[in-house]
Structure 1
Amino acid sequence: MTNQTIKLDQFLKLKGIASTGGQAKLMIQSGEVKVNGSPETRRGRQLVKGDRVTVAGQSFTVEL
């Protein structure tokens, strides 16, 4: 990970959306997570500043 990107599963843990990496993986694989409005099932998806992550109706903007 560089200073410019963060993996989707790491972002979910950082924001407290998922308490563990395993929980983040399950949320992503089940299609519960959207990135910029589109379902994202790759937990290794690299997020950049300005990306919007939506889970359970809550949106979070990536700020690195």
Structure 2
Amino acid sequence: MQDSFIKLSQFLKLNDLVQSGGEAKHLIQDGHVCVNDEVELRRGRKLHVGDRVTFAGQTYDVKAIPSP
């Protein structure tokens, strides 16, 4: 059974926190996004249910992984 995940850049786009993948890439690489209270610089970081993403002063919980 394969573990379900979503990439950090996809999470930001799906939650309307950024307009494009390019914007997500730059914000992540510039250190503006934290995962589980640690700065994350990898846009391909795999998020799992229970992870917490902090961006622009707001924290978002990963509650469900969308089906492909």
Alpha-carbon distance between aligned partners in 2 of 1:58 and 1:10, rounded to the nearest angstrom: 17
Deviations 1:5-57 (A, max 9, x none): 00000000001011100000011000000000000000000000010000011
Query: What is aligned with 2:55?
Result: 55
Report what 1:41 is aligned to: 41
The answer on 1:10 being equivalent to 2:18 is no
CA distance in 2: counterparts of 1:37 and 1:11, whole angstroms: 16
User: Deviation of residue 63 (structure 1)?
Assistant: 1.4
**Percent identity over paired residues:** 52
CA distance in 1, matches of 2:17, 2:33: 11
Q: Which is strand-richer, 1 or 2?
A: 1
Structure 1 length normalisation: TM-score?
0.93
Structure 2 length as normaliser, TM-score? 0.88
Q: Which runs of 5+ in 2 are unaligned?
A: none
Task: Give me the CA root mean square deviation.
Answer: 1.2
Q: Which has the larger radius of gyration?
A: 2
Q: Can you give the 5+ residue segments of structure 1 that lack an aligned partner in the other structure?
A: none
| Over 6 Å off, 4+ runs | none
